[in-house]
Each structure stands twice: as structure tokens, then as C-alpha cells.
Amino acid sequence: MRIGFFGAAGEVTGSCTLIETGDCRFLVDCGMFQGGREARSKNLNALKFGCDVRSIDFVLLTHAHIDHSGLLPMLSVLGYRGPVYATPATVDLLGVLLRDSAHIQEKESEWQLRHQRRRGQGGKAGTQPPLYTVAQAEASLKLLRPVPYREPIRPVETVAVNFHDAGHILGSSWLEVTVSGEGRPRRLVFSGDLGMRERPVLNDPEPPIADADLLLIESTYGDRLHRSLQETEDELVAAFERTRRTGGNLVIPAFAVGRTQELIYILADLVRRQRLAPLKIYVDSPMATAATHITLRHPELVDSHTHELIDWMRRHPKKMSVEFVADVERSRALNEVRGGAVIISASGMCEAGRIKYHLRENLPRSECSILITGFQAAGTLGRRLVDGARLVNIFGKPVAVRARIYTVGGLSAHADQAGLLDWLRGFRKAPKHAFVVHGEPAASEAFARAIEDRLGWPRPRLPQLGERVSL
């Protein structure tokens, strides 16, 4: 068996692993690289596996986030026509996320062309075409095959697959793959992205199987612990009170899938418990709106506390109201509001979408606040804000940073080091081969040490991008 690490090795984004069993080839995830100047070149070269993509038998998706799914349209463009297996909720979300990804790319390419023409540079030279178009994204959606949790499938005769709830976002999974053939069956586990236990909205991650021959484990927060939910609530209340007192707006960049729904839950719960005054929130993201509707269509994936809070919100519309901003004109009108607005908008790392317009208008104003609620990859605008930049570029123009930047660390959809170790304790013994992936180098190295020190396992390997390992 050979494993090829073609993404999320030594970094967080671009998840893509090629497994070659001798009888078949398959991919686990096919994600887009995000953040930094090298992201585009990495995406253009990401699917060079040393084999024709048409020789790949099937694809398994752990969840819908673009850093795990965003290159599926490119795979399709290159000629892949096989099935892509994912949970039903993931399939529903991809219908929104992949179209949105393509739409953003098309719009950014158009903006570059207009910008060049304004500067007197004709033609398309120097503009970056989209990695794929909306039409190509829609074509890739036809490859999706929904698979419920815990209902085994057999994509080929020698491989059986089970999807288990990872508690990360709606429909997220960790994968149990059994490969048969010569000798005894081999059991492979791919963690995908794991969520925290006892957090709002979603069910807890399912524990792993007892034994595995191969494990790939994520390490996004492998070097740190999240703040408690109580501390996170205190930070949120402080940010809201400060912004209300200064008369500015509170702008919250948030991932459209998962984070936006979690924020709505937490803010509604704070209002219900009278820790916050009655609120009106603007959710300015068509994708977040669609993701919220999809969440409501999958009540079996939502915990009992969330069902109770949804019922409370329906009975108390004046205490907690949410306006989902649909059209562009309404979104633009929010930029004219000088105070009192609470705006949740995508993207979560501030790299694209409507959030950039709200940041452009509110960052220069000291009475406003920006609430960062999720992981910010190296090279992203969100990361520069977290790192204390006093001047940033938005749409090619400098924007002063005078607003108060709050970083709330307890809302991550990823398990922290303690949560990851707790999940790994579900194995009866150390897997024969373990690899730490999906983390920046310091986080992955720290987590590999923690696995060795805390669990007594042999030190896991930290693969490099493009590395192939024979087992």
C-alpha cells in the first residue's frame, strides 16, 4: 500500500490524500489551498499525482469545507468521472459551497480585468482566470453520492467504507476504511476534522474504532487548548458592551457553514439568559443563509439544546431577531449604518465575499469592533488583523486599522489538543502507522510529541507535501 500526501501536510489547507492499495486508487478529500501568495500555484499543481486522474476509482469526502472539497471541480475538469461519496448533509452543503467558490473566483477575475482597464492596461494579460467556472462546479456535483452515517458501502470489491460523525460541521465525518485482499484485512482511519465535545448545535464526535493499521489525524490546534465556553461568553459580552458604549458597529467574519449557526445559537442563548440586551443580527452571506436552511433540514444532526433554543427564538422574535440579507442592495445599505449594527458575514478568513466590504467601511473607525471567531490561516487578511496589522489592503487599496480587534478563541469547530488526545484514547492500542496532518508545522510537531508523551505511542510521522510513503 502507498499513501501520497498532496495537501494539508505541513499546513492546514488543501486536504488531499491518495491511497493506492494495489487493487485500486482512491482519494480522501480534494481540498483547495487557501491563504498566502503561493495558494494559487499550489492549487494549479495540486492534482498532479503521478497518475492520470481517470485511473482513480473513487473519492471519499470527510466534509464540505472548501479546504477539503474545493478542488473537486478541477478533478472533474481533468477527466475524473467516478463517484464521490459523502454524507447527505455534505452533499447538500456542497451544492452551495462549490457554486459559491466558483462564483467568487469568476467575480475576482472580472474585478482584476476592470481594474487593469481603469489603469489603462487593455486585454486580459496579467489577470488570473478562475480555477474553475460555475458551470464546471455544477458538473462536478453530478458525481456526488450520498451515504448515511454508519451504513457501510463497498466502492470496489476489496474496500469497505463507514462514515462516522466527526462533530465538526454539519455532515462532517471521520472515515473507517477496510481494505481486503492478500492476508488479513487492513483497517484505515482518517480523522478528517474533529469537533469539540459538548459544544453548541452539533452532536459530539463518535469515538474511533478499537484497532487500526493506519491513522491520519488532524492537528489544527494540536499545540494549544481552547478557552472554556464560559470564558468565550464573557469575551463576547465584553465586545458587545464596548461596541454598544462607543456607538459603533460590531462586524463578525464567520465561516458560513458551522460558525455562523453556532454564533446565532450562542448569542440567542446569551439574550435568553439576559446577559445581552435584545439583539437584531444581520447575516450578510447568501451561503450562510443557505447553510442555515440546510441545517434546519437535518434535525437529526442537531443536539437537543439547539432544538429548545430554536423554539424559544420562534416564541420571542422581539428579543432575538435575525435578518438574512439576500440581495446586494440591502448588503450595501448596511455599509451606510454608522452605529448599532451587528453584522455576521463571510468569508471567515476575510479573504473574499461581502465581509471585505464591511471591513473596508468599519476598520478605519475606532468606535467599531471586529470579532475574529475562528482559525485564520497564514497569509490571510484575517491572520494579518489578528497579528496586529495597522494597515491592510482591501480591493487593492490601503485601509487603516483603527477598530478594536477581538479574538475569541473558544468557538473553534476543531478539537483542541486535549480533545484530540481524548478522541485518540478510544483506540485500544496505538495504530501500526500514524501520521499527523492538517496543521501548521509547530502545531503538528507539538501534537506528535503529546501523542508520544501522553499516550505512550511511538512518535507519529509528520509527512511533507508531495511525499509518498510505502507501507
Q: Considering the entire predicted model, what is its pTM?
A: 0.89
pLDDT surpasses 90 at 19: yes
Per-residue pLDDT, 122: 59
Least confident of 69-73, 357-361, 376-380, 433-437: 376-380
- Across the beta sheet with 214-218, what order do the strands follow? 153-156, 159-165, 173-179, 186-190, 214-218, 433-437
More confident residue, 455 or 395: 455
More confident residue, 67 or 115: 67
Q: Got the DSSP string for 325-337?
A: --SHHHHHHHTT-
Residues 6 or more apart whose CB falls under 8 angstroms from that of 42 comprise 14, 33
Report the 10 Å Cβ neighbour count for 86: 29
Tell me the mean pLDDT in the region 375-388.
Answer: 89
Quick: pLDDT tens for 120-147.
Answer: 665 555 578 899 999 999 999 999 999 9
Quick: pLDDT tens for 332-358.
Answer: 999 999 999 999 998 888 988 899 999
Tell me the mean pLDDT in the region 31-58.
Answer: 92
* 229-411, CATH topology level: Rossmann fold (3.40.50)
Quick: pLDDT tens for 393-431.
Answer: 998 899 999 999 999 878 888 999 999 999 999 999 999
Tell me the mean pLDDT in the region 44-65.
Answer: 95
pLDDT band at 174 (very low <50, low <70, confident <90, very high): very high
Quick: pLDDT tens for 304-333.
Answer: 999 999 999 999 999 999 999 988 999 999
At 102, give phi and psi (nearest 5°): -65, -40
* 2-224+413-470, CATH topology level: Metallo-beta-lactamase; Chain A (3.60.15)
Residue 397: its H or E element? strand 397-400
Q: Name the residue ranges covered by the structural domains of the chain.
A: 2-224+413-470, 229-411
Per-residue pLDDT, 123: 57
Per-residue pLDDT, 120: 67
